[in-house]
A and B are shown apart, each in its own frame.
Chain A
Amino acid sequence: MSSPSSAAVIKSCLDIVRRLDPAETEKHLENLTKLISNDDISDELYQRVDVPLKVLKDTNADDRKFLACDHNRDGDSHRSPWSNMYFPQLEDGFCPSDRLRQLELHANEVFDIYRELYFGKSSSVSSVYLWEKEEPNNNNNHSEGTNNDETAAGFSGAFLIQNKVDNGSYWNSIHVVDVGRIERGSSMCVYRLTTTILISVSPSSETEQESTTTRISGSLIRQNVRECKIISSQDSNSIGSEHIVNIGKFIEDVETEMRKEMDSLYIQKTKNVVEMIRKDVMKPTQGQEHTRVLNEAVLAMAMNRKAKLSGK
């Protein structure tokens, strides 16, 4: 039989990954790689599927932690957003241009503040990686016109957070943003954001024995687009700051919304599923209990009236 097209293979792999337990995605990817037996397709699969982020230490920056993912990887090394150096060391690992690197450092420090507000100080880590977009004409000559600022030409970035707590539960945010080019004469910029949330909740209770384990693991992917007005002129230094502010607000809104959906739509749905299997609706909440008592009282009154009418 003819071998399947790479697109068909990727599609089937993604279907499998999106059905199986997200907490074991790495194991499944390893097995899928063996089934695929094709390095190029495997590489593409690894780029398309998000896994819980790894934490590394930047020994050139006071042991400050950073996150490892495909976007800061070169070979088997990863670049730290703090010192801009690779671990393990690499002689000429890929780095963003000086200008983009300045913006990247700025973005990291601002995003770090966001991380502390929502995720707590000591158990979470954040990192931002920026990279130039490949222009279709591959024309790096910026001498045409006065616009030589990469930030006006648009760029891409990964904004990452991981929070891991004592009982093994974790949260990973992987936001990949595409910042559109700002055309001459325009003051609007389009931001396209793809967000993946990966979580695992392993509640532990004091009375639980070792052989009792409960885990909820989930992945949620969303794509959003937002258009923002850019106030700074295209040649100024503050355009980068504006991008950081626009992206930051966008991420904050999307993340908060997805956190709510994760709980109310998905996690609570798993509770409904169990209730549908074993009859015996789980203990009602206070509101439901109140309604039940009222209903019984009304029913009792109706029965009483009926009995009186029939002369019993």
Chain B
Amino acid sequence: MLSTMASARSILLASPPGQFDLILEDVKSIAPKSLTEESELSALRAEWAATTGHAIIETSAADDTTDESSDGCVHAIRKAMDDYVNLKFSSPGVRAAHQVNQEEGDKTLMITTYAERIDLNNHNVGSWKACYTVNISSECISGNVSISAHTFENGGNVHLHSNMSLDETSAAFIKSNDNVDKQSSWAKSIVKQIQAWEDTEVMDKLTDMYERMNNEYLKSLRRVMPITRTKMDWNVMAHRVRTTLGEGNGKDKFKHQY
């Protein structure tokens, strides 16, 4: 039935990192007749992997070529990104990969990074996906970083989703027939911009949010203690209300401050 497929698809595409198969098990348990076609399932899995960025790990693992024949600029960026990803995304338990693709007839380079850490035993998972567009002719670079984290222990289910756009900024100039050294230093300057963005625009802003979480954001939702710095005196208040309700007529009963 079409609506069942659409519902199953909506649920599965919302799976947090590393949990597509767990949710698939549940969906099949609820509606055993849905998603019985292997091709349907593969297509859905591929769609989820593409949207989340997980697909990059799979394609990168499958593709072993060093691709010496590609454009010099592409090659230089790939090398610089290799070093960068090894530097920044190599903590224990992290799987990371990147892709560099040429588009629009050599005018644009797309750099995509994906990293994830799946620790189901300790009930936490997370992913990092970054896309950068280098426009060689206009000498500009822009980007977007998507981060997600999920922790789900002992009755809790907490998600972080952050999507940050990085404003277009000027990049160094490079000609396609420049020599290898020039291409290499150009590539390094591109990656340096990426690193600067990720350090300041992304990580620093996230740090700032977490630092303000307790005393600002959560506090505006619920204080830890009342302004009086003492807990509520329930006995006094219960008595006071009972007296008021007993005295008041019907109209006054609903008088309130707002």
Contacts and interface: CB of A to CB of B under 8 A. Distances in A.
Contacts of A271: 149, 160, 206-207, 210
Interface in B70-96: 87-91, 93-94
B245 interface: yes
B172 interface: no
Interface string A1-30: 101100011001101101111111001101
Given A280-B203, A282-B207, A113 B94 contact: no
The range of chain B's interface size is 35 or more
A279 interface: yes
Contacts of B128: 274, 277-278
Contacts of A24: 14
Given A28-B11, A248-B232, A282-B203, A267 B88 contact: no
Interface string B226-258: 111001101101110110110000000111111
Interface stretch (B60-68, B177-185, B212-220): B212-220
A221 B156 CA distance: 6
Contact of A19 (B22, B147, B155, B228): B22
A276 B93 CA distance: 8
Contact of A214 (B26, B150, B162): B162
Interface residues on A, range: 35 or more
Contacts of B149: 269-271, 273-274
B99 interface: no
B256 A19 contact: no
B97 interface: no
A217 interface: yes
Contacts of B206: 214, 271, 274, 282
Contact of A218 (B32, B157, B198): B157
Contacts of A285: 211
Interface stretch (B39-47, B119-127, B133-141): B119-127
* Residue of A20, A116, A244, A261 ringed by the most chain B CB atoms within 10 A: A20
A56 interface: no
B89 A279 contact: yes
Given A277-B91, A278-B115, A35 B7 contact: yes
A267 B32 contact: no
A201 B221 contact: yes
Contacts of B213: 201, 216, 263, 267-268
Given A122-B258, A276-B126, A16 B26 contact: yes
A178 B208 CA distance: 42
Contact of B91 (A20, A23, A121, A276): A276
Interface in B139-185: 144, 147, 149-152, 155-165, 167
A261 B258 CA distance: 32
Contacts of B214: 263
A241 interface: yes
B218 A269 contact: no
Interface stretch (A87-95, A164-172, A296-304): A164-172
Given A36-B31, A276-B93, A277-B127, A62 B7 contact: no
A216 B159 contact: yes
Contacts of A112: 256
Interface string B1-36: 001101110110011100100110111011111100
A62 B151 contact: no
A252 B231 contact: yes
Given A169-B217, A256-B224, A21 B159 contact: yes
A4 B157 contact: no
Contacts of B192: none
Interface string A182-214: 000000000000000001010101000101111
A236 to B, nearest CB: 13
Contact of A267 (B164, B165, B210, B224): B210
Contact of B238 (A64, A203, A241): A241
29 contacts: A9-B29, A13-B30, A20-B16, A28-B14, A31-B8, A32-B30, A35-B7, A35-B30, A36-B31, A83-B254, A119-B223, A171-B222, A199-B221, A215-B160, A215-B161, A219-B157, A244-B238, A245-B238, A248-B238, A252-B232, A255-B222, A260-B224, A262-B218, A263-B218, A266-B151, A270-B151, A278-B198, A279-B89, A282-B210
Interface of B: 3-4, 6-8, 10-11, 14-16, 19, 22-23, 25-27, 29-34, 87-91, 93-94, 115-117, 124-128, 144, 147, 149-152, 155-165, 167, 198-199, 203-207, 209-214, 217-218, 220-228, 231-232, 234-235, 237-239, 241-242, 244-245, 253-258
Nearest 8 CB-CB pairs, A to B?
A: A218-B158, A31-B7, A273-B126, A273-B149, A270-B149, A12-B26, A117-B226, A171-B221
